[in-house]
Amino acid sequence: MESSDLMAPADKPMVDREVHTPETFNHQPKIVLDGEMSLLLDSGVTLAPLTIAYQTYGELNADNSNAILVCHALTGDQYVAGIHPVTGRPGWWDNVVGPGLPLDTDRYFVLCANVLAGCMGSLGPPETNPKTGKPFALSFPLVTIEDMVRAQALLLDHLGIDQLFCVIGGSMGGMQALEWASRYPDRVFSAVPIAAAARHTAQNIAFHEVGRQAIMSDPNWCDGDYLNQSKRPQQGLAVARMTAHITYLSDAAFHRKFGRLLQDSQEKTYGFDAEFKVESYLRHQGSTFVDRFDANSYLYITRAMDYFDLAAQHDGVLSMSFRETPVRFCVIAFTSDWLFPVSESQAVVQALNANAANVSFCEIETDKGHDSFLLNEPEFFDVLNGFLRGAAKHRGLI
């Protein structure tokens, strides 16, 4: 999951403070557009020139050793903290990134890039194809998690960062963190995959297919050409968001937030309007989502997650993904996460243990579901803060 707009009013940061303002950070949008920068995708297509939109928070130290790469989830973006320029709301990890928080911007240089095929400035379906002067739409090539990570590596090359102090992310961001640690072990000092997995399960692929079909069934999708026809498949994208959002919470979280409460009355109306509070909530999530996300990007990014299978890159043996790895790992899972259950994180830990890797594993007890890493979970904050401080001491940053 992916967005702070899912944070309920009761789920406030554990530190009482004002919302970050853009002036708090080095928070100006940055775009890399270099004619010499190209990327060969897994599909065999070469993207050039390559555009990557990203945000930075804090300052890079003298030897460029304090950089943390935050990898965002499916519908997230590079605006992890501060005020989001589109929604006007706090960034999706504003309770984790900032002065005195686990990703302390007084100590670390925090970087987050919009993923390849995203819709917040990085090269993707809604961007203009220089050959046609129109949006790429479905002419944009399919991408993979591996492609996203290679694009991020090119960004780090551009910034002169040879090794990350840490790469961290939840959900799809955790997939990217695992890919980083596997593909570029010498460029990663530590890695924190959260509520993630080394592959996408058949059930998760099925949920994504329902969302994609909702989008593609919308008459305004126009076979992906809606931008050129001044249309938007808002209904389809909203339904896709509603369906996905159900998987981000647990049954207990839904019951606690909504139960079977009616929205506006004490009596049933015997109709199909949003009569229950949970219905109204899901419709709100769907309607606000379409204001900030591109439907084709949703198709591309969900498919990238479906393709991800770290073991398949190594003859089906997950442990081969981490042979003789020097990376320090902290793998975090949540007990009520049924989208990426604890067993998926345990499989990663077992693969790391088979290589005698430096790995910590934390299974956090909570009933909030997959989205727990975005909400107020004090134990999660404590674990993350403790691991990063320990790694920083070994790195010589403290």
User: What is residue 342's DSSP assignment?
Assistant: H
Q: Report the distance separating Cα 161 and Cα 168, nearest Å.
A: 16
Q: Which residues carry out catalysis?
A: 171, 337, 370
Give the model's pLDDT for residue 159. 92
- In this model, does residue 28 exceed pLDDT 90? no
pTM of this structure: 0.92
Homologous superfamily of domain range 4-198+309-395: Alpha/Beta hydrolase fold, catalytic domain (3.40.50.1820)
Q: Which of 3-12, 53-62, 112-121 has the lowest mean pLDDT?
A: 3-12
- Give the start-end residues of each E strand in the chain: 30-34, 39-40, 46-47, 50-57, 67-71, 109-113, 128-129, 134-135, 166-170, 190-194, 328-334, 358-364
N-to-C CA span, the chain: 32
For the chain, the domains span 4-198+309-395
Give the model's pLDDT for residue 370. 97
Q: Which of 14-18, 177-181, 263-267, 332-336 has the lowest mean pLDDT?
A: 14-18
